[in-house]
Structure formats: C-alpha cells, structure tokens
Amino acid sequence: VNAVLDPASLQALEGVAQEHGLARLGAVALDHPGFSPARVALDEFLARGLAGEMAFLPRSAAIRREPARMLPEARSILVALVPYDGEPGPIARYAQHADYHTIVHRRLLRVERALLDRIPDARTLVCVDTKPILERTAAVLAGLGFLGKNGCLIAPGLGSYVLIGCILTTAQWTGANASTSNPPWDACGSCRACLDACPTQAFDSPGRLDPRRCISYLTIEHRGSIEDILADRFGDRIAGCDACQEACPYNRSSARTERVPAGSGLPAPPGPRRDVDLARLATLGNNQHRSFVRGTPLDRIPRRAFRRNALLALGNAAGPVGADERAAIERGLLDGDAQVRAAAERARRRRLDRGSD
Ligand code: B12
Ligand code: SF4
Ligand code: SF4
C-alpha cells in the first residue's frame, strides 16, 4: 500500500508549518497535468540559451522535469511560502536578511518531522531553491497563488515578496488538484506595470524573462563582461533587483504586518549591521568580503564580482566624486581582474574625466 497524504493530514501539517514560520503550505501531485506547460516553458528557455552562465540549469533539467529522479517513487510535493520585507536600495530585499536557504530549510525540517510521524511509510526530501524543482510552478499547482507577468509567484494576501520551499515525498496526495483552467498571468488583467518598470527591458513577453538582460542575473550569476548599454541601467543596484516587484500593485496595498505575519519573516543576518558603502565595497579585502556576505544569500557572489558591481554602481552615481570614491576607482584600474578593471575604467570615464573638466 502506498503512503497517502490526504487533506486532513495536510491541514494538520499546515498548523505545524504556521507554528514554525511558514506562512502557507499546500500540496500537489507530481502527475498534475499543469506541470506539462511548465516543462515546455523550461525546454524552450534552455533551447534558446537563456540560462546564460547558469550551467546548473541545463545540467539538472532532467531532474527538474522529473523530480522522482532525486527521490525514487516520489509522488507529491508539499510547498511552503516564507514572506519577507526590506528597504529599496542597492541590495535586493530578499538578500537583506539571513540566508533564506538555511532558514526555510530549518523550518521545513519541522514539517518533515511531523509528516513522518503521521505517515511513517513515507520518504521525503527537503528542497529549497538549489534543488532542481520547478518551485514557482509547484506553488501555483499547490494552490498557493498565481504567476504574474513578472514571472513571480504572487500569493493572495502576501504579494510576491515570498520565498518558496518544498518537501518532495513518496506519499500520494489524494486531495483535489488546484485548477489550471486560467491561462498564466490571467490575474494581471491588462496591467503591465512590471514589464514597463524593468530597467533593462528584460522581458521578451509577459512572464518570459531573458535573464541575460536581467540585473538580478547580471549582478549575482554572471561573471563575464557586461555591456555598457545594460550597466548604464543598473542604477545603484549591486546584488539582485526588485524593480518588477516594486511596480506590482499586489505588493502595494497591504501593510507590512499583513504581508509578513508575525513569526514568519526572515531574521537579520548575523553580526553587526551592514552598511552599503559603494566605495568600500569596491575595494573589499578578503576578510571584509567574508564578513559582509557571511550568513546571507550574498555569499553566492564572489569578491571580484562584488567589487565589479560596486564599481559599476559608482560609475552610475551622479554628483561630485568623493575622495574615497576616487581612490576606489583608481585602485580598480590597477586590479588583476579584467572585469574589475573594465568596471573601473567605465567609472573613470563617467565620473573622473567628467569631474575634472
Ligand atoms: C534561475 C533562477 C533565477 C534566474 C532566472 C530567473 C527566471 N525567471 O528564469 C535569475 C538569476 C534571473 C533569478 C532572478 C530572481 N529570482 Co530566482 N530563481 C531561479 C531558480 C533557481 C530556478 C528558476 C528556473 O527554473 N528558471 C527557468 C524558468 C523557465 O522557470 P521559472 O522561472 O520557474 O518559470 C516557470 C513558469 O514560467 C512556468 N510556466 C510557464 N507557463 C506556464 C503555464 C502554466 C499553466 C503553469 C502552471 C506554469 C507555467 O514554467 C516555468 C518553468 O518551466 C528558482 C528556484 C527554483 N528551484 O525554481 C529561483 C526563484 C525563481 N527566484 C526567486 C527570486 C526571489 C528571484 C528574484 C526576485 C531575486 C531578486 N530580487 O533579484 C529575481 C526575480 C526575477 C524575475 N522577475 O523572475 C524565487 C521566486 C519567488 C517568487 N515569489 O516567485 C525562487 C523560486 C527561489 C525561491 N526558492 O524562493 N532567479
Ligand atoms: S529583476 Fe529587475 S532587471 Fe530583472 S526582470 Fe525584474 S526588473 Fe528587470
Ligand atoms: S505589475 Fe501588473 S502585470 Fe506585473 S505581475 Fe503585477 S499585476 Fe501582473
């Protein structure tokens, strides 16, 4: 007899989830027909080379399509959401907190424990972000929200500033399938605020992002050179981008307390408060870099990419050049790394040459 995850069990687990800082919990069977269009979208995405330098995407595509390759006989996914807040600024909101991978993982372990207590025959695998699961699609099909034209999962009452975590399980979900009769991005209606707000016009069409033009990809994942035509649009962003979420009416209406229920936000990173001083970040030494990124999702960004990003942002700044900014740009010109040098060269052209005439 197969292990079974029924609606009563899900309801009990939802209680556990909420107690442990997971604002929503839903379930979806892996044979839900709604995964088909998402697999097609993934195949098209990969075929067009949109993964850019994200080699992990093509490498893990077969598992992303068929998660049972990670956990034999997997039949369902439990999907949880963790809302977050933050301030507009050079670092995207999700990265202003302690690393969500660790936090969401830890919270999911409590739900996993409760699931195994209730369904001892089940096997499980906790997956947060880095495991190849189509997380946004799973969240939609588990009934937790819908996809916006910005590609993000938007959860009613929470908006899109939510992170997704999953538990893959061999237990069979026996509850109803969430409907997929609505076409994607249907709930957006005629709105296209996110598409228009994207500084680099990175959307090919609603819901279809070309990461190679996306500031989030370029600042976090991309190590090669960045064309001026794109860098000119970064503004002061050095790690991620929230412009297509800032523009979204679904993120505007509710008060912070409503969006981030008590006990389910993300805690601050460990250590002292991080000051985002571009001149300092452009000249980060090894130890300074380690302590700046430690315990946050920023630790994906190597030191030289961080320095490159800060130099690009320095190049985009306006107004008189401070002595510390000048020193940072001049130091960058002598750097051993070609991308750091190129970013410093751009900042010199835009800030120093102009400042001295
Ligand atoms: C690679 C990646 C990126 C890349 C590429 C993003 C992209 N749009 O493809 C880059 C670096 C650009 C990126 C940026 C960001 N990311 Co990211 N990223 C991922 C990651 C690891 C894989 C995504 C992926 O597979 N992309 C390939 C595309 C094709 O898949 P997709 O985005 O899931 O889109 C699916 C839908 O469009 C669906 N679909 C299409 N048509 C239809 C039709 C129907 C009916 C259905 C049901 C589905 C469907 O199919 C696609 C998959 O096949 C996921 C984690 C994960 N394991 O899923 C996080 C994830 C998507 N990222 C996340 C976040 C927070 C961000 C940023 C907001 C971070 C920031 N502030 O800078 C930005 C947002 C940019 C944007 N507007 O999308 C969250 C999203 C949460 C949410 N509310 O949606 C995730 C889920 C991480 C997490 N665990 O919480 N990211
Ligand atoms: S994250 Fe920024 S650059 Fe990327 S699609 Fe959204 S608005 Fe555009
Ligand atoms: S800004 Fe408008 S189009 Fe974009 S996701 Fe939000 S509602 Fe949809």
Which two three-digit tokens encode residue 225? 């050179």
The ligand 2 site (C-beta within 6 Å) comprises 198-200, 202, 209, 214-216, 241, 243-244
Query: Which pLDDT belongs to residue 357?
Result: 43
Which two three-digit tokens encode residue 157? 């009452």
For the CA of 154, the closest atom of ligand 3 is: 5
pLDDT at 257 over 70: no
pLDDT at 72 over 60: yes
Query: Which pLDDT belongs to residue 270?
Result: 85
Q: Which residues contact 91 (CB under 8 A, 6 or more apart)?
A: 238, 239, 240, 276, 298
> Choosing from 6, 85, 129, 236, which is the catalytic residue?
129
Q: Is 292 exposed, middle or buried (0-12, 13-18, 19+ CB in 10 A)?
A: buried
DSSP E strands in 237-315: the ranges are: none
Q: Is 57 exposed, middle or buried (0-12, 13-18, 19+ CB in 10 A)?
A: middle
pLDDT per residue as tens digits for the range 236-255: 999 999 999 999 999 986 65
Which two three-digit tokens encode residue 63? 């598992």
Task: Measure 321 CA to ligand 2 centroid, in angstroms.
Answer: 28
Residue 102 vs residues 25, 32, 191, 272, 297: alpha-carbon distances, Å: 18, 29, 35, 19, 9
The ligand 1 site (C-beta within 6 Å) comprises 34, 37-38, 41-42, 45, 54, 92, 94, 128-129, 133-137, 140-141, 147, 150-153, 160, 162-164, 180, 184, 207, 209, 211, 214, 216-217, 220-221, 240-242, 244
Query: Which pLDDT belongs to residue 254?
Result: 61
pLDDT per residue as tens digits for the range 79-111: 999 999 999 999 999 999 999 999 999 999 999
pLDDT at 345 over 60: yes
Mean pLDDT of the chain: 94
